[in-house]
Amino acid sequence: MPAILEDAVKSIMKKNPELDKSSAYAIATKSLQKSGDLKKGTVEATEKGSRRGEMSKATRAKTRAQKYKTERKMGRMEGRNTSGRN
């Protein structure tokens, strides 16, 4: 299994301890496929997913925040707020 999938499952299980592992895998797989980290219909990592799987959780958050900052400057923001501030 790709590292990014394993990390996502751990995160989901930590936030929802009552959830069974197969449901956590289904949620993580669907979410990662939607974001382009896994290839559609598989659990195989894309190039982006492999790169992000090697990053720490903090580094992924920093790159995501940078992406949103760039989008905000270009006027493509969809109301996302990564800092918790308005």
For 37, the token pair is 């980290």
Residue 5: the pLDDT is 95
Q: What's the whole-model pTM score?
A: 0.72
Supply the angle between the helices 3-15 and 21-35 in degrees, to the nearest 10.
130
> Is residue 29 within 8 Å of residue 5, measured between CB atoms?
yes
Q: Domains of the chain: which residue ranges?
A: 3-73
22-71 per-position pLDDT tens digit: 999 999 999 999 999 999 999 999 999 999 889 888 998 898 899 888 88
